[in-house]
């Protein structure tokens, strides 16, 4: 496939930031790999929250060499790309599908959800003929095995991480810009989760810890109300109770979110995008998985635990699984699980660094995706 192949990515924003977070990382990494990319998004206001350079009022603009467009009117957009990416089953405009049918030389990729479940190895790459049109889409599954598409990780991320951590001026400037306390005696924790997370139990455990001090950094958003309620109505700034201080910081863009993960000792993350970013930050993390009907998400959680903790000693594995299970069950008693997890924190720190290096040794998803497209694109 020509190195300057054109790519169209279609994204519907469903859960505010997860969908567009994946789409934006994918678009930028394709551009870095010498592809021409158009990104169609139906909610530019949500997009602007993770990309400060974006103007949500403009239907068309270029950001980071990506041609960003508001989700197209089906009666307007018929200029079809070489490769068409339907993100997370969002569907394509009917007019665009008709143009693809007439042209018949575009590759249609259904870019699916990340999972560690073994079944995706067999589904990755499978074709799916359209029931009414002469079109076939191919499933592309991100994943952790070599039989999947891999993880959405930039090839230069390790160098950027090291440069930031080792640059004292940049490190200090980041703290000052977002009002993050510089207390070297504290353990810093980033807290990003869905609204049903048992936040109060976590804060209770940190506040009662007599052995150390905790600084929890909370991007403004869905957890703001829970934090305010726990502190009894005090809002904004940095609040303190017992061994805990909590600071609400502005919701940051993707690059700054990476830096937030790098400055913290522990990261609570959610969904798919921040979940991957926490792993390559090399810090212990706790995953809040997107809740599904009939607790179907817990199978996905268990599948990741099975590969992530395989090298841990039994007591460390039990502590990690205990906290992850409790964090994903609002009915669970969280405090005992937090204490067990903190008791093995030093060993989790070493394991997190080893896991980071393991992931970075694999071929990045975008390289796999470009090769995937080249092997399947219809002949002109």
232 CB-near residues (< 8 Å, 6+ apart): none
Please say whether the beta carbons of 140 and 7 come within 8 A.
no
**Is 272 tagged catalytic?**
yes
Please say whether the beta carbons of 95 and 75 come within 8 A.
yes
Token pair listed for 252:
């940051």
Residue 208's CB: how many other CB atoms inside 10 A? 14
* Cα 42 to Cα 283: distance, rounded to the nearest angstrom: 34
* Cα 275 to Cα 269: distance, rounded to the nearest angstrom: 6
Residue among 36, 110, 272, 309 flagged as catalytic: 272
Question: What residues are annotated to the active site?
Answer: 19, 272
């Amino acid at each position: 496939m020509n190195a300057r192949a054109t790519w169209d990515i279609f994204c519907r924003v469903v859960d505010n930031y997860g969908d567009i977070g994946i789409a934006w990382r994918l678009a930028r990494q394709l551009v870095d790999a010498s592809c021409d990319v158009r990104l169609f998004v139906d909610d530019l206001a949500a997009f602007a929250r993770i990309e400060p350079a974006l103007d949500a009022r403009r239907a068309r603009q270029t950001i980071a060499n990506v041609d960003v467009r508001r989700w197209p009117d089906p009666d307007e957009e018929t200029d079809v790309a070489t490769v068409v990416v339907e993100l997370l089953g969002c569907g394509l405009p009917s007019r665009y599908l008709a143009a693809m049918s007439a042209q018949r030389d575009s590759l249609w990729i259904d870019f699916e959800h990340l999972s560690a479940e073994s079944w995706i190895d067999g589904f990755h790459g499978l074709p799916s003929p359209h029931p009414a049109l002469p079109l076939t889409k191919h499933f592309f599954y991100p994943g952790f095995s070599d039989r999947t598409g891999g993880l959405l990780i930039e090839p230069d991320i390790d160098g950027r991480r090291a440069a930031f951590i080792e640059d004292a001026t940049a490190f200090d400037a980041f703290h000052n810009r977002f009002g993050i306390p510089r207390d070297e005696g504290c353990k810093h924790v980033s807290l990003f989760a869905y609204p049903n997370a048992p936040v109060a139990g976590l804060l209770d455990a940190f506040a009662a810890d007599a052995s150390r001090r905790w600084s929890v950094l909370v991007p403004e958003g869905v957890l703001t109300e829970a934090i305010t309620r726990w502190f009894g109505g005090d809002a904004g700034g940095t609040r303190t109770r017992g061994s805990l201080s909590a600071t609400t910081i502005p919701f940051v863009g993707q690059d700054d979110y990476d830096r937030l993960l790098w400055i913290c000792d522990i990261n609570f993350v959610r969904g798919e995008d921040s979940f991957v970013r926490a792993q390559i930050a090399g810090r212990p993390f706790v995953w809040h998985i997107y809740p599904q009907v009939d607790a179907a998400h817990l199978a996905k959680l268990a599948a990741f635990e099975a590969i992530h903790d395989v090298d841990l000693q039994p007591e460390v594995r039990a502590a990690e699984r205990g906290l992850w299970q409790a964090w994903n069950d609002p009915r669970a008693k969280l405090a005992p699980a937090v204490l067990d997890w903190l008791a093995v924190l030093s060993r989790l720190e070493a394991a997190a660094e080893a896991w980071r290096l393991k992931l970075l040794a694999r071929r990045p998803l975008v390289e796999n995706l470009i090769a995937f497209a080249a092997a399947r694109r219809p002949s002109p």
